[in-house]
Amino acid sequence: MNFFARLLVDFAYILNTSVWYQRKRRFFYNILENEDYKYKKYFDIFMMLLIFLSVSILIYEVKRDAHDYLQFFNNYIISLVFFVEYMLRLWISSSISKVIIHQNEYCDLLNRKFNFMFIVKRVLRDKFEYVFSPKAIIDLLAIMPFFHELRLLRIFILFRVFKIFRYAKSFQTFSAVLATKKFEFFTLSMFASIVIFVSSVLIYVMEANNPDSSIDTLYKAFYWSIVTISTVGYGDVVAVSSEGQFVAVIVILSGISVLAFTTSLFVSAFTEKLEDIKESKIIQDVSKMKRIYIICGYENIAKEVAKKLVSAGFSIIVIDECPHRTEEAKKDSYMALNYNPGSVDSYKKLNIDMSTQVKAILCLREDDVSNVYSALTIRSIDKNVYILSLLMNKINKNKLLHSGVNEILYDKEFVGLIAKEYIGQPVAFEAIHALGSEASIIKMEEIVVTERISSGIRYVKNLDNINFRIVLLGVYKKSSTRFYFNPMDDTLLEIGDYLLVIGNYMFISEYIKHLSKKIKA
- Per CB under 8 A, which region of 43-51, 114-122, 225-233, 473-481 contacts other proteins? 473-481
Our finding on whether 506 is near other proteins (CB under 8 A) is: no
Q: Which residues of 357-379 are buried (b: 16+ CB within 10 A; e: fewer)?
A: bbebbbbbbeebebbbbbbbbbb
Our finding on whether 502 is near other proteins (CB under 8 A) is: yes
Region 282-321 residues binding other proteins, contact defined as CB under 8 A: 293, 300-301, 304-305, 307-309, 312, 314
Task: Give CA–CA dist 172/267, Å, rounded.
Answer: 17
Region 391-410 residues binding other proteins, contact defined as CB under 8 A: 393-394, 407, 409
Pairing of strands 482-485, 407-410: unpaired
The 10 Å Cβ neighbour count of residue 196 is: 22
Our finding on whether 69 is near other proteins (CB under 8 A) is: no
Choose, by CB under 8 A, the member of 252, 483, 492, 506 that binds other proteins.
483
Our finding on whether 476 is near other proteins (CB under 8 A) is: yes
Q: How far is the CB of 267 from other proteins (least distance, A)?
A: 40
Choose, by CB under 8 A, the member of 432, 492, 495, 506 that binds other proteins.
432
The 10 Å Cβ neighbour count of residue 24 is: 12
- Phi/psi class of residue 335: alpha, beta or left (left: φ > 0; alpha: ψ in -120 to 50)? beta
Q: How far is the CB of 420 from other proteins (least distance, A)?
A: 4
User: Which residues lie below 8 Å from residue 423, measured CB to CB, with a gap of 6+?
Assistant: none
Task: Give CA–CA dist 90/94, Å, rounded.
Answer: 8
Our finding on whether 436 is near other proteins (CB under 8 A) is: yes
Q: Please say whether the beta carbons of 95 and 54 come within 8 A.
A: no
Task: Give CA–CA dist 312/331, Å, rounded.
Answer: 19
Our finding on whether 471 is near other proteins (CB under 8 A) is: yes
Our finding on whether 421 is near other proteins (CB under 8 A) is: yes
Pairing of strands 471-477, 482-485: antiparallel
Q: How far, in Å, are 138, 219, 276, 504 from residue 201 at the CA level?
A: 34, 10, 44, 87
- Per CB under 8 A, which region of 38-46, 71-79, 222-230, 468-476 contacts other proteins? 468-476
* DSSP-assigned letters across all residues of 116-172: HHHHHHHHHHHHHHHHTSHHHHHHHHHHGGGSTTSGGGGGGHHHHHHTHHHH-HHHH
Q: How far is the CB of 379 from other proteins (least distance, A)?
A: 19
Our finding on whether 342 is near other proteins (CB under 8 A) is: no
Choose, by CB under 8 A, the member of 161, 277, 473, 519 that binds other proteins.
473
Our finding on whether 415 is near other proteins (CB under 8 A) is: yes
Our finding on whether 431 is near other proteins (CB under 8 A) is: yes
The residues binding other proteins (CB under 8 A) are 293, 300-301, 304-305, 307-309, 312, 314, 359-360, 362, 364, 388, 390, 393-394, 407, 409, 411-432, 434-436, 442, 444-446, 469-474, 476, 483, 485-486, 498, 500, 502-504, 507
